[in-house]
Amino acid sequence: MEAVLAHLRGAIERGQYAVGDKLPSEAELCRTLEVSRPVLREALRALQTMGLTVSRTGKGTFVVAGAVEDPTFGDYAASDLLEVRRHIEIPVAGYAAVRRTPDNLDHLAHLLDRMERETDTTAWVAMDTLFHLAVAEAAQNPVFRRVIEEIRDALARQSAFLDQLGGRREQSNREHRAILEALTDGCEHDAVAAMSHHLDRVETTLTDIMRSRPAEPAERPSTGAGA
């Protein structure tokens, strides 16, 4: 998928497909790139998340920007999402460190243990959002949980995007482990620092993905059929 995405992104950023152009049909792209339809569709979804294309039902996929600016996850731009997360989740982690109950810690530990063993991206992403919800619950303020619930879909989309294109899963697990250890120790300062570091790494990975330059044009990406 990464190879297909890099190929299509590069074609758009080089002007091979200009703003307003319609991309070839899925069937044509699958034949040209020699990939399966599920792989192609993942790449097309990533292009849309990056803000380069838009999919119009019954009409196809159209180029709407010539360069990556601010990706969108569900209803929210990445920059808006991260700004809110910093203002909510960092202090929430501090509150959770001093208010958490044994049940909260058990739930978080169970989730993280499962995440560290999980190999399926969809399942891991679901547990990733549950982990952040559980931290909000540990702060013992229902408003915090409601805020995280509101952005839960966007968090899941962002998590899947970063895992696919930024290889974030193992690093994220380590960052979550540091958050849990701070909550277990009841250290507000360490919890705030751990959540801040986690969001810093999310921002860094996003920035790296957005700034990465696609490879020079080739006949097609080096991807086997049905990959």
Residues 204, 178 share a domain: yes
Q: What is the mean pLDDT of residues 180-203?
A: 97
In a domain, 159, yes or no: yes
pLDDT band at 218 (very low <50, low <70, confident <90, very high): very low
Q: Are residues 61 and 84 in the same domain?
A: no
Checking if the pLDDT of 18 tops 50, the result is yes
Residues 78 and 41 in one domain: no
Q: Which amino acid is at 82?
A: L
Span of 7-11, 32-36, 64-68, 117-121 with lowest mean pLDDT? 64-68
Name the pLDDT band for 224 (thresholds 50, 70, 90): very low
Q: For 90, what's the count of Cα atoms within 13 Å in the CB-facing half-sphere?
A: 14
Region 98-114 average pLDDT: 98
Q: pLDDT higher for 59 or 110?
A: 110
Distances in Å between the Cα of 173 and the Cα atoms of 62, 71, 177, 213 are 36, 23, 6, 28
Range of the structural domain that residue 32 is part of: 2-69
Count of structural domains within the chain = 2
Residues 116 and 136 in one domain: yes
Question: For residue 213, what pLDDT is reported?
Answer: 57
For residue range 54-79, what is the model confidence (pLDDT) as tens digits? 888 888 999 988 888 888 898 899 99
pLDDT band at 115 (very low <50, low <70, confident <90, very high): very high
Cα–Cα dist 28/44, whole Å? 14
61 and 142, same domain (yes or no): no
On the CB side of 124, CA atoms within 13 Å amount to: 22
- Decide: 172 and 118 in contact? Cβ < 8 Å: no
**What CATH number did the domain enclosing 156 receive?**
1.20.120.530
Q: Assign 46 a pLDDT band (cuts: 50, 70, 90).
A: confident
Q: Which of 114, 112, 159, 107 is nearest to 138 (CA)?
A: 107
**Pair 54, 164 in one domain:** no
Is 149 domain-assigned?
yes
Encoded tokens for 224: 């086997």
Same domain, 63 and 76: no
Q: Cα separation of 78 and 206, whole Å? A: 9
State which H helix or E strand residue 72 sits in.
strand 72-73
The verdict on 34 and 126 lying in the same domain is no
Q: What average pLDDT does this structure show over 163-189?
A: 94
Residue 76 in any domain: the answer is yes
In a domain, 48, yes or no: yes
The answer to whether residues 51 and 72 touch, using CB atoms and an 8 Å cutoff, is yes
Tokens 């920007």 correspond to what residue? 65
145-154 tens-digit pLDDT: 999 999 999 9
Rounded-to-integer distance, Cα 127 and Cα 208, Å: 25
